[in-house]
Amino acid sequence: MANDEIHVLVVDDSQEAAASMAELLVLDGYTVRTASEGRQALQLAAEQVPHCVILDINMPGMDGCELTQELRARYDSSMVIIAITGMGDRSERVAMTIALADHFLRRPFESSVILRLLLPTRPAVG
């Protein structure tokens, strides 16, 4: 793998949502892996620490809040975490995740927003 690849891990229990996000990112030049739940995401992160994790907050099993807590415990702030939800932000789980994540988006959102948030992870050109 090239050293200038930007690795993104997309975690969503909706395979359709994960696949469409991954497709968008691959088309923009990112190296993307997907996971359908939190434990699988932790395993993938251990194999290749991503520069960014984009995760759904509301997932069965290990939800996005628990996953964010575990990623921060293991990797501190070495990765950008973007939390996404269709839920209101009055939930305690959502509020805790927002506090730990670097960015928070509520569905629906424009795909260009994700690409703008990822720009700081790209290496400087020149």
- CATH fold for the domain made of 7-52+62-120: Rossmann fold (3.40.50)
Can you give the pLDDT at residue 86? Answer: 80
Can you give the pLDDT at residue 43? Answer: 97
- What residues does each domain of the chain span? 7-52+62-120
Contacts of 105 (CB under 8 A, 6+ apart): 82, 83, 84, 85, 113, 114
Measure the CA–CA gap between 17 and 35, rounded to whole angstroms.
Answer: 11
Beta bridge partner(s), residue 84: 56, 105
pLDDT tens per residue across all 126 residues of the chain? 445 789 999 999 999 999 999 999 999 999 999 999 999 999 999 999 999 999 999 999 999 999 999 999 999 989 999 999 886 667 788 888 989 999 999 888 888 898 888 876 555 444
Closest by CA to 117, choosing from 82, 85, 88, 93, is 82
Q: Which amino acid is at 108?
A: P
pTM of the model: 0.89
